[in-house]
Amino acid sequence: MTIQTLTIAQIQPSILNPRKFFDDTTIEELAQSIKTDGLLQNLVVAKPKGKAKKHNIIAGERRFRAISHLIEKGELDKSFPVRVEIKENLTDDEALRIATVENVQRENLSPLEEAAALAALVKNGEELDNIVAQTGLSVATIRRRLTLLNLSDKVKEALAEKQITLSQAEALTIGKHEDQDEVLDDVIEGYYTAPDEIKDKLVGDLPSLSMAIFPQEQYTGTFTKDLLAEENATYFDDVEQFETLQKQAAEQKVAEYVQTHEWAELQEGYSFSRWQYGEAEEGEKGGVVVFLKNSGDVEIYEGLTKTKATASTAKALKAKEKDFYPTPLRRYMGMHKSLAVQAAILGNPRKAKELAVANKLARFKAHDCLRYFELEGGMPPALAVINQQAEILLSDLKIQADEEKPVWKTLGGFFHTDEEEAYDTIQSLTDAQLESILVFLEVCEFGQDMADRLDTHEGSLFNKIAKDLAVDMRDYWRPDEGFLNRRNKVQLQALMNESGASAKLASASEYKKGELVKSLTKFFQSAKKAKKPTETDLKANDWLPEAMNFPAIDPDRKEPEADDMDEDFEDEDEVQGEEGELDDEEYAEAA
């Protein structure tokens, strides 16, 4: 083992690191710890090979990122000595093993990252006993993690974003990808929450292998397996073939029992009517009922005698017969009907538009910017435009506005979850009115992603659309109390110098914060309203903070390198905790 020091410039992350996502908050916390107490745990790096100059990190990328963060902020010098243990002559497999074990033991990988890392170890031939010993994970936990690799991409994304729990994700693994995706929305919306409910939804209609009384080799279809069951549960995917083979096997059993008993017969239904039969006396063979349940199970009842119960009484008291249309057939017919209606809708664009509008009205999810200004209590010009259009659409739909709600919210919430009512209501609308509603709802759902960060990415959809529309924030916004309150006095002084306000107002140091904010607010309002704007007014009206551009310009961020251009929103915008502002926690709670 070789311990020495390197600079941050001599080290680089490795593509072999199992961890793919890093929490900015925990990195910041680690950075402050390193700043206060120093680097308590060295990094593990690989010695460069060939013409390579940098050491690849095997273990400790979070520490590397924390140190880099401190250097970028100027809180550590670029020459800060980073203690490292250098590993020589490592293969990629060996580096992966060390990185995986280090991450699992110390840094709590996400379940999906853990699954990918463990799978890589298994594929590289690592013995299970070694994985257990080095990671501290039980065999059961390793098996459960590896089953997550059976998830569809859509379910993996939902798990990564914590829209579903780990136990729910594990339950979804037993289904095929298309079935997982179909059930996922119901799980997210809370229709199915318990793992058993989810499994029942996926395989509740499927017969299990343990039910079969015929040789397994006779079945030619596929199976679904639940690898997390205490005893692995296997289900027949082809229910029709199973039912055919099961009934044939039951009939064969009846034929066999007829040879050895006084009588034998096959019955089918939900439950066996035990009350119809008596018990044979000792020494008598009696008869046999082979009972084929609607679920697919087969039960054998021996030593029976037939009673005097009349056929009509027995029929009247018997449990409900098997459905005329069993589940597989209902599913078959439902799929055909759905395809037929889809094909018909394609030939009727008006009906397709009605469907789209009804769905939008019932599932409307407004962008946070609309709710945000409910809390702020203001009416930005752009929001006034939104509400004016909503008033027109409410009139078209003959809906009375709710005086206690913003107009857009009345429209967006009137048909909440009720597609049928929305569909019925829009039938009287003209094509133009229908299109206006569809456009309005789509627009109100659109906005900047992750609004608590600066969107500095020129290629984001938000910035592309703003650029195509030539959106200029000067047409919709002027510096107001909401903005100015969130700046400290040093920043306000710089703003005064840039906007020309310093020509009319005294130095910021001569005001209290609240007084300065009010004075600046009036300054910008006056400049905007001036009928004959002076040079100072023109300068004020032209002033715009760089973050209000499309894309935003972040003064805290250096010009990005080419390799960084595809990374979205890496640096969070600092929010000043001045009196009168709504902090992030209050906003999140209210929204």
Distance CA 492, CA 502 (A): 10
Question: What is the β-pairing status of strands 55-59 and 82-87?
Answer: unpaired
Specify the pLDDT at position 315: 57
List of domains in the chain? 2-134 (3.90.1530.30), 151-203 (no CATH), 242-323 (no CATH), 348-445 (no CATH), 472-549 (no CATH)
Q: For residues 198 and 175, what is the distance between their CA atoms, to the nearest angstrom?
A: 10
Confirm if 192 and 201 have CB atoms less than 8 A apart.
yes
pLDDT of residue 586: 42
- Let me know the angle formed at the C-alpha of 405 by 402 and 407, rounded to the nearest 5 degrees: 75
Amino acid identity for residue 20 in this structure:
K
For residue 576, the model assigns a pLDDT of 37
Beta-carbon contacts of 381 under 8 Å, excluding residues fewer than 6 positions away, are: 475, 476, 477
Distance, CA of 173 to CA of 150 (rounded, Å): 6
Determine the pLDDT at residue 48: 82
Dihedrals φ, ψ of 188, to 5°? -60, -40
Alpha carbons 80 and 236: distance in angstroms, whole number: 63
* Helix %, strand %, coil % of the chain (to 5): 55, 10, 35
- Give the separation between CA 299 and CA 290, rounded to whole angstroms: 6
Q: Report how far apart the first and last C-alpha atoms of the chain are (Å, whole number).
A: 53
Q: Which residue has the tokens 């098996």?
A: 143
91: phi then psi, degrees, rounded to nearest 5 = -80, 165
The two tokens of residue 4 are 């020495």
CA nearest neighbour of 126 among 141, 142, 140: 142
Q: What is the pLDDT of residue 204?
A: 66
pLDDT of 277: 78
Would you call 304 helix, strand, or coil by DSSP? strand
Distance CA 294, CA 16 (A): 52
What span, in angstroms and rounded, lies between the C-alpha atoms of 414 and 289? 59
Say how far apart CA 200 and CA 171 lie, in whole Å.
9
Cα 517 to Cα 275: distance, rounded to the nearest angstrom = 88
Concatenating the DSSP letter of every residue in 351-377 gives HHHHHHHHHHHHS----HHHHHHHHH-
Would you state the pLDDT for residue 581? Answer: 41
Q: Over its length of 591 residues, how does the chain's per-residue pLDDT go in tens digits?
A: 567 888 888 888 876 665 656 667 767 877 787 877 777 778 788 888 777 778 888 777 778 888 888 888 888 888 888 888 888 777 766 776 776 666 655 556 678 877 877 777 776 677 778 777 767 677 778 778 888 887 889 999 898 888 998 889 888 887 778 888 888 988 888 888 888 788 777 766 678 888 899 999 999 988 887 766 655 578 888 888 999 999 999 999 999 999 999 999 998 876 677 767 778 888 888 999 999 987 788 989 899 888 765 555 555 545 455 567 777 778 888 899 999 999 999 999 999 999 999 999 999 999 999 888 877 677 899 999 999 999 999 999 999 988 888 899 999 889 988 999 999 999 999 999 999 999 999 999 999 998 889 999 999 999 999 999 999 999 999 999 989 999 998 999 999 999 999 988 888 888 889 999 999 999 999 999 999 999 999 999 999 999 999 999 998 875 544 444 444 434 433 333 333 444 444 434 443
Q: Are strands 233-236 and 11-12 parallel, antiparallel or unpaired?
A: unpaired
Question: What local confidence, expressed as pLDDT, does residue 322 receive?
Answer: 58
Measured in residues, the chain has a length of 591
pTM of full prediction above 0.75: no
Residue with tokens 């009846």, as numbered in its chain: 254
SS3 assignment, position 262: coil
Cα separation, 390 vs 396, whole angstroms? 10
CA distance 6 to 280: 90
* CA distances (Å), origin 82, targets 14, 39, 55: 17, 8, 12
